[in-house]
Amino acid sequence: MNTLRIRLFGKFQAERTGRAMGGLDALKVQELFCYLLLNRDRPHHREALASLLWGDNPTSQSKKYLRQALWQIQLALRSGSHKQPNDLLVIDPDWVSIISFSDLWLDVRVFDEAMARVRGIPGQALEPVHVGVLEEAIQLYRGDLLEGWYEDWCLYERERLQNNYLDMLDKLMAYCEAHQLYEAGIDYGTKILRFDRARERTHWRLMRLRYLAGDRAGALRQYERCVAALDQELGVKPSQRTVTLCEQIRADIVLDLAFPNDDNSERQTNSATLRPMVGRLKSLQATLNSLQHQVDQELHALEEVLSNSR
């Protein structure tokens, strides 16, 4: 199959049938092509593209550079392919757009589709098919988007995709704890901290995972790393919830605390996780009430004995 494979994570790479595709070596040509691929869901006005990429030049010159770059992209797409260039790139007098044909594989598109499939699903509620999709997606993330590029539009997309990558790993961590896959969960958490060492939620989950895996000392060392990272990166102390978890681990008593919601904020809790806890607390309350009744009866009997012995 005459497949065009394009990778935007890490270093830009374009291949056709396993061989590097020529004609895209010029930086501005790459930049235009990558911008169109990342914003493939809409057409772009030619004047806006010219201003975005060649805004330091007079309008007539920037439009000329745009025409030349579009011609080079068309030539590269035509090279070694039986398809015409407008199978992917559509150009008219005022607009330019990308249309996805069946032989195009784009790592960012696969990644975005994976995120769309699991958005709104808490990690502990993922199905095995979702886990497979996420594992495939995180393998595509070979590095940040177009490493070495610092244009404003690229920085925005880079941050968006990195946040989605970390959210995917968050979900996988939650899934692993819920299914007692502690070592795998620790591995996902370690990947997160390589990008954001002051992510307190990740430290909190790693503390739990290490403790549940039988490594209480490792869980306490994770807390110390959390304290140091928060202080050095943000100048703050851990939240009370993280401190409480540390105290529970030191006492070797960890309650079944609810996970923070994967898709909103740590202030939200998942009702499916809380229901079993409510049941256990009600059972404990009933036991305590029974014990209290027994204590009251024995205390009353003892007081009667003492009263009769006077």
Average pLDDT on 284-296 reads: 74
CA distance 233 to 228: 8
Position 264 scores a pLDDT of 47
Mean pLDDT of 157-164: 96
pLDDT range class, residue 2, cuts 50, 70, 90: low
- Measured at the CA of 214, the angle between CA 212 and CA 217, to 5 degrees, comes to 105
Q: Can 4-102 and 107-271 be said to share one CATH topology? A: no
- Class in CATH terms, 4-102: mainly alpha
Count of C-beta atoms within a 10 Å radius of residue 116: 10
Domain ranges of the chain: 4-102, 107-271
State yes or no: pLDDT of 161 exceeds 60. Answer: yes
In this predicted structure, the answer to whether residue 115 has a pLDDT above a threshold of 80 is yes
Bridge partners of 260, per DSSP, are: 269
Q: 107-271: which CATH architecture?
A: Alpha Horseshoe (1.25)
Q: Is the pLDDT of residue 86 over 60?
A: no
- The per-residue pLDDT of the chain, averaged, comes to 87
Residue 280 has pLDDT above 70, yes or no: no
> Which residues have a Cβ under 8 Å from the Cβ of 47 and sit 6 or more positions away?
59, 63
Q: pTM for this structure? A: 0.79
**1-5, 7-11, 90-94: segment of lowest average pLDDT:** 1-5
